[in-house]
Structure 1
């Protein structure tokens, strides 16, 4: 089976209205399928069923980074220069080969180092967003998604609904009105924290979690009022729980796994998973390298990823789980190595776990294209019903969006 390209894609490349090397610096960007194209093998009958499911149900990834990264990431100078340039390269062709109908794009965020090596600066986040919106305005394959209706319209047209997201709220500093500004610029999901603490609460890297602050409560209230989806994926456990309970609307943990399967700070506790489900929200399972591993194989692959999915599904039910694979187009492991300190990887993903086999890439889940083909294929292969597959690949997320974005 070969990946099929969406006919609505007409070949647009990022910033092609400008001249590379003249209007902006030339960098050596990776091939989106640099690690190969891997597809779960199915029988002819299963292939037919997958095709029917893809045609019937919207596929929504609630957390990804669908952009090209530089080919060379082993040298910090190469990737740092590209990130400081502040011109994120949307992987249009790669997305055209995906099954996605809607992608929540978390942009550069933690590697956005235009003006500061620490990242997360308000001016840089706005720069990144404005640059992306300018590029998207010059093409017609991605639809800037602001409503649920945009998702269905994109699917009907064979296009992709693009949701702009800011992964952590540090850039708003102590200005609650910046939530309104982000909403006005088209942002529809905001993380309470990244792994580091901010004015709203504690991040998951911290040893002590003070919970959601008074300012954090005000921000949750404002997000509820403006219709911004609230994400607690990188929060400390108490801050995440407080945010879920304080919100009057369902929330999302867009890209996590289960601490009960792999005990690291980046994984969600049973208490948090149950709280998200009880409030009507969704837990999205992630696949960034060396996150959703399991003791079954002591490495990271499709089966360990789905072990987290089934753990959450068995705990809170099929209505409260989905997928936010947290992938990109390029050497993701290499990016992690280059930005290990900025992304707090040692403090959140490795502490307290036994030694494991590091993989060069997560086969079948290496990028948003592969994951969108293989998750549904795994579900078919393992006997899930059509209705349940429709829920987890997009229906559950859409149900939450109808309530939050209203």
Structure 2
């Protein structure tokens, strides 16, 4: 059977050409920046499959729920070193054009609040987060590709209507400080998934940067209980190992590790050890495999690629079972590697990537941004003999099961 040539046409969502904030006047209402291309920034790559396999891929994209458990639909400036001035204006563009060809039905949007620098140089300030949410929501209100999802029914409605459901998420609870009712405020603003800590420790527990992980604090226990009561799903992707494990055990509901890999394959803080992955699954949770540059590497594939990402996927499936694995590839529109360099200290990337030597890539081929990543993952799964039922689980069904257990009915 011949291999597919070029880039097959993935089924798309109806897109009317809307660009973020086109209802405003550039240079008058905001300072314009030249933004990265959403499609074609780098050489397109289609994971090679045969014609019959490609037909099956397109059927799966059409019929099944395709969900990203962790993404940034943000479009960054073409010149990544303009990012600091760009972020200080507090106005982020959404990659609607790229999303329309992504094959995604649901995207868990994590915004860019670790880099929300409107009022500070450190990010994660309460005022900045509320500003960020409000500006993005104002833009969402002027387009018709995505709908803000706050219930499981919203996810299915988006699929039926040929739209994309966007679930609002925060990667850390840092901005609530010691104010537990701010969890309720965020829920009221539509946030349905929230991390406990990012790199630095906060009032709830330790992030992955900390050398001494004290675990979940007393206040952290209260926040976990409040999130369970509200119907907000918990994420421990950036928590230190002990804090992550404490959260998993403390929560009465399953939790997500939305974007991660296996430390057994790549020994860095950013990856999670087996005991944390197992605990998450044993309590009913789901682990999303990530592909942000230079994270899910392996000794077999020290140059980051779809093959190294999928090696992590298969390891975690073998460890915890296919009912507890999904994909949260953690991509964005623009030069992700350049952003990592620009924000190396801000996001503690140096600490999280310390470990075995690796070959730096300029982008992760085939998983460069949301526009191309998920069809290629489906192609890989089809090519490697995964059944339709198994693909259905890891591309969406597992995630929905957890949401049914953690969200308000």
Scaled by the length of structure 2, the TM-score of the pair is 0.97
1:71 correspondence with 2:75:
no
Partner Cα separation in structure 2 for residue 7 and residue 256 of structure 1: 28
1:304 correspondence with 2:304:
no
Alignment of 1:214-229 (within 5 A): 214-229=218-233
Partner Cα separation in structure 2 for residue 41 and residue 356 of structure 1: 25
Moved over 2 A (4+): 1-8
Alignment match of 2:57 (pick from 26, 50, 59)? 50
1:6 correspondence with 2:12:
yes
Alignment match of 1:25 (pick from 31, 52, 58)? 31
Partner Cα separation in structure 2 for residue 226 and residue 7 of structure 1: 32
Partner Cα separation in structure 1 for residue 91 and residue 327 of structure 2: 27
Alignment of 1:138-287 (within 5 A): 138-287=142-291
Alignment of 1:120-135 (within 5 A): 120-135=124-139
- 1:101 touches 1:160 (CA, 8 Å); kept in 2? yes
Partner Cα separation in structure 2 for residue 17 and residue 354 of structure 1: 48
1:379 correspondence with 2:381:
yes
Scaled by the length of structure 1, the TM-score of the pair is 0.97
Give the drift of 1:28.
0.9
| Alignment-derived partner of residue 357 in structure 2 | 355
- 2:11 touches 2:61 (CA, 8 Å); kept in 1? no
| Alignment-derived partner of residue 4 in structure 2 | none
Alignment match of 1:338 (pick from 338, 342, 362)? 342
- 1:141 touches 1:160 (CA, 8 Å); kept in 2? yes
Partner Cα separation in structure 2 for residue 282 and residue 7 of structure 1: 27
Partner Cα separation in structure 2 for residue 4 and residue 321 of structure 1: 24
Give the drift of 1:5.
6.1
Partner Cα separation in structure 2 for residue 3 and residue 265 of structure 1: 38
- 2:331 touches 2:370 (CA, 8 Å); kept in 1? yes
Unaligned runs of 5+ in 1: none
Partner Cα separation in structure 2 for residue 293 and residue 354 of structure 1: 10
SS at match of 2:279: helix
Give the drift of 1:149.
0.9
Partner Cα separation in structure 1 for residue 357 and residue 268 of structure 2: 13
- 2:13 touches 2:101 (CA, 8 Å); kept in 1? no
- 2:205 touches 2:243 (CA, 8 Å); kept in 1? yes
| Alignment-derived partner of residue 402 in structure 1 | 404
Give the drift of 1:355.
1.7
CA RMSD of aligned residues (A): 0.9
Unaligned runs of 5+ in 2: 1-6
Alignment match of 1:293 (pick from 290, 297, 310)? 297
Give the drift of 1:112.
1.1
Give the drift of 1:3.
4.2
1:98 correspondence with 2:97:
no
- 2:298 touches 2:308 (CA, 8 Å); kept in 1? yes
Structure-2 change in CA distance of 1:238 and 1:7 (3 Å): closer
- 1:103 touches 1:161 (CA, 8 Å); kept in 2? yes
SS at match of 1:235: coil
Give the drift of 1:2.
3.5
Partner Cα separation in structure 2 for residue 37 and residue 70 of structure 1: 20
- 1:6 touches 1:159 (CA, 8 Å); kept in 2? no
Partner Cα separation in structure 2 for residue 34 and residue 54 of structure 1: 23
Partner Cα separation in structure 2 for residue 204 and residue 198 of structure 1: 11
Partner Cα separation in structure 1 for residue 11 and residue 66 of structure 2: 15
- 2:129 touches 2:175 (CA, 8 Å); kept in 1? yes
- 1:9 touches 1:159 (CA, 8 Å); kept in 2? no
